Amino acid sequence: MKLLKLSCDQPSFKTLRFNSEGLTLIVGDASSRNSQDGSSNGVGKTLSLGLVHHCLGANADSKLAASVPDWMFRLDFSLGQDIYTVERSGDGKELFLNGQKIALAAFRRWLNDRGPFKLDDTVERLTFRSLFTRFARYHRDDCTNPLQTRKESEYDGLLRSLYLLGAEFSLVFSKRSSKQELDQIKQTVTNLKGDKFLREVFRTGANPQVRIEWLGKEIEKLIKDLSQFQVAEDYRQIEQVAENLTKKLRENEKNKEIIRFQLAGIEKSLTQQPDISRGDLLALYEGLQSIFRDEILEHFEAVERFHNGLSANRQKRLEQDRLGLSKELDQLESEWRDIARERDKQMQLLHGKRALDEYAATANILASYKEERARLDEFLTFSDKLQERSQMVKEKRLSEDKLAFNYVRTNPIKQADDEFKKLAELLYPRHPSGLVLKNNLGDNQLRYNLDVQITGDDSDGINSARILCLDWVFLMYGANHSMDFLWHDNRLFADIDPRPRARWFSYVMDSIKGSGKQYIASLNTENFDAMADFLSESEQSVLRSSVKLTLRGDTPENRLLGIHFGKPT
C-alpha cells in the first residue's frame, strides 16, 4: 500500500503529493505565536496525518466535524497495481470509494479484505485499523510505547506486534483464551455460591456434601411423617374446646381443695376437748375460797352449765357446716367427672390427627429441603464439571508453556532483533539494545514478554528512538503485510538530539533507495534545520528536495486547510 495524494474540494487546502519512493517531508514553521506543535491548532503537519486516517476509516474527528463538516477530503492510494480513491466529508457522514457511496462499516470490511494486511480469520482483534496505526502513529498516546498504541491493551499490543514480526501467535491467542476461560469458571463458581441456599451453607462453614446427606435423611423423615398425617380441619376449634374444659377441671380441683381444707379444720375442731374441764374448773374455785367470799363461789354450778352450753352449740354448728361442705364437695366431684368425660371425648377426636396449618408447615419445610438439596446437587455436579474443565485447561496451558519455551529457544525474531540493534547502535552508540522475546509463565493473558530495549529508554529521546527503530523493522523486515509506507510525525523527533536525528534520516535516505517504499515524516523548521551540521552536502540536498509541503503559521492561507482550524474563540 502506498499513498499518492491527499487533497480536498476546497481551493484553500494545500494538496500533498507523496513521492512514489523514498523520502517525503512535510515541514512546519512553528514560529507563529498561535502555533502549538503536534496539535490541531498547529500549521497542519500532524493534521495531514490525521486526514489520511480520516480517509482510511478512522472515527470522525470532533474538531474536524465542527469546523469543516461539508469539506470533502480525498486520498489517492495504491494497493499493488491498483489505484483507489476514497473521499470523505469532514463530519465523516459522507464516504465514497472510487466514486461509489459506501458505509463506514462496509469500507472497513473492504480494507480488512482487500487491504495490505494478510489477516487471519481465526484470530480475533486483528484488523486493518489496529495494524495500520503502527505505520502511521497519529495520536500522542500512539507515540509513548513501541508495542502499544492508543487505547490498546497489553495483550493487543503484543499480539499485533508479533503478528507484524512474523512470530508465532497461536499460543498467544490460546493462552488468552485459557485465561479467560479459567476466569469465567472462577466467576461461575462465585456466582453459584451467591445462591441463597448455598450462601447460607458456605456462611456457616458447612460442607455441601455433608449438608446433602443430612437433607436426605430429613426429607425421608418428613415424607414418612406426611404420609401418616391425618388432618382435622376443625383441629384448632376442638383443641380450643379441650383447653377450655381443662381450665374448668383445674378450677374445680382448686375449689375442691379449698373445701377439703375446711372439712379438715372442722374435723380437728370436733375432736378437741373443752378448753377447761369440770375438775380443773372446780379446783380453781376451791383455790379461790381463801380470797373471795362464799356467796360469790356459790355460782360455780351456773358457770359450769353456761360453759357446757357453749360447747354443745359449737359442736352442733360444726356438724352442720361439715354436712354442707360435704354436699358441696360431692357436687364438685360430680361436675368434675362430667367435665372430664367431655374433655376426654374432645381429646379422642384429636387422637392421631393434626392441624391443617401444621401439615402445611411440614409440607413447606419438605419442599424447602428438596429445593436446597436440588441446588446443592446442581452445584456439586456443575462444580465437578467446572473443576474437571479447569484442570484440563491448566494441563493444556502447562503443555503450551513447554511449547512456548522451546519456541523462544529457537530465537524466532533474530532477524528483527539484528536489524533493531543495528539501528539503535546507529542512533545511540554504546547503548545496549535489542528485541527480547521471553516465555511468560504468569497467571495472565500474555504468552510472551517482548522487550524493546535501548538502554536509557527512560529518556524521552531514546524512547522515541525505540519507536522509530521498531516501526522501521515492521516496514522493512516485517511479515503479514504489503505496507509500502511509514509515516512518522514530528512529535517522535522533537526529543531526539540533532545528531542522532540526522543519523536517522541519513540512514533512511540511503537504505530506502530502490526499495519501492515510502518514508513520510513531518518536522518543525528548527528540527529540520538543526540536522544540517551533521549531514553531508549531498544529504542536505536530498533532504531539501524531499520537502513536498511547507506549512507556516504566519497567515491562515499558509496553513494546511488555509483557515484557522481549531483556533479557540
CB 362 within 8 A of CB 229: yes
Is the pTM higher than 0.85? The answer reads: no
Domain boundary (334, 351, 368) is at 351
Rounded Cα distance between 201 and 392, Å, is: 28
52 located within any domain = yes
Residue 159: inside a domain: no
Query: Does some domain include residue 384?
Result: no
What one-letter code names the amino acid at 358?
Answer: E
In a domain, 522, yes or no: yes
Last residue of a domain, one of 307, 333, 351: 351
pLDDT at 287: 64
pLDDT above 80 for 520: yes
Picking from 336, 351, 366, the residue at the C-terminal end of a domain is 351
φ/ψ of 101, rounded to 5, equals: -65, 140
246-261 mean pLDDT: 84
d(CA 462, CA 419): 17
DSSP 82-107: EEEEEEEETTS--EEETTEE--HHHH
CA distances (Å), origin 531, targets 44, 298, 386, 441, 509: 22, 167, 63, 45, 14
- Domain containing 68 — which CATH number? 3.40.50.300
What confidence tens digit (pLDDT) does each residue in 121-173 have? Answer: 778 899 999 999 999 999 999 999 999 999 999 999 999 999 999 999 889 99
Using 50, 70 and 90 to split pLDDT, how confident is the model at 286? Answer: low
Q: What is the pLDDT of residues 435-445, one digit of tens each?
A: 999 999 999 99
Is residue 197, in this structure, part of any structural domain at all? no
Cβ atoms within 10 Å, residue 371: 12
Range of the domain at 347: 231-351
Cell numbers linked to 143: 507515540
Q: Flag whether 182 is in a domain.
A: no
**Residue 554 pLDDT level (bands cut at 50, 70, 90):** confident
Rounded distance, CA 288 to CA 139, Å? 143
H/E segment holding residue 553? none
Q: What grid cell was written down for 420?
A: 533493531
Domain presence at residue 241: yes
Q: Is 138 among the domain residues?
A: no
Identify the CA nearest to 480 among candidates 40, 217, 116, 147: 116
Q: Looking at the predicted structure, is the pLDDT value of residue 568 above 50?
A: no
Number of domains in the chain: 2
